[in-house]
Amino acid sequence: MVKFEAALMEHNGTPFAIVAVLPRILNSPEREDVRNNFRKYFPLGIPIIFTAKDADGNPKYQGKYDIVKFLYQLDPKKIPWERYDTI
């Protein structure tokens, strides 16, 4: 069973998923493999953005540039997080 927190959102009419990961994933050489493993849980073809908190508790984002830029301008409390429990 896989458990993770994620949110489905939209930016300029483009749906995307944001997934909470461990901080080390953001700059990991395996980052794209991890992203590809999450694709099966979301609608086909939507961008997947990763987020993790830095040492000060601030969110950091990684993924498609325009969406990441949007997320940095958004209050993190407005992200509609859901817990995913998969089999």
Domain that holds residue 29: 2-79
Residue 85 lies in a domain: no
CATH number, residue 36: 3.40.1350
- For the chain, the domain total comes to 1
Report the pLDDT averaged over residues 11-35.
Answer: 96
pLDDT (tens digit, 9 = 90+) per residue, 26-60?
999 999 999 999 999 999 999 999 999 999 999 99
Q: What does the pLDDT read at residue 86?
A: 81
Residue 36 covered by a domain = yes
SS3 of the chain: helix, strand, coil, percent, to 5: 30, 35, 30
The DSSP bridge pattern shows strands 59-62 and 14-20 to be unpaired
84 in any annotated domain = no
pTM of the model: 0.93
pLDDT of residue 2: 83
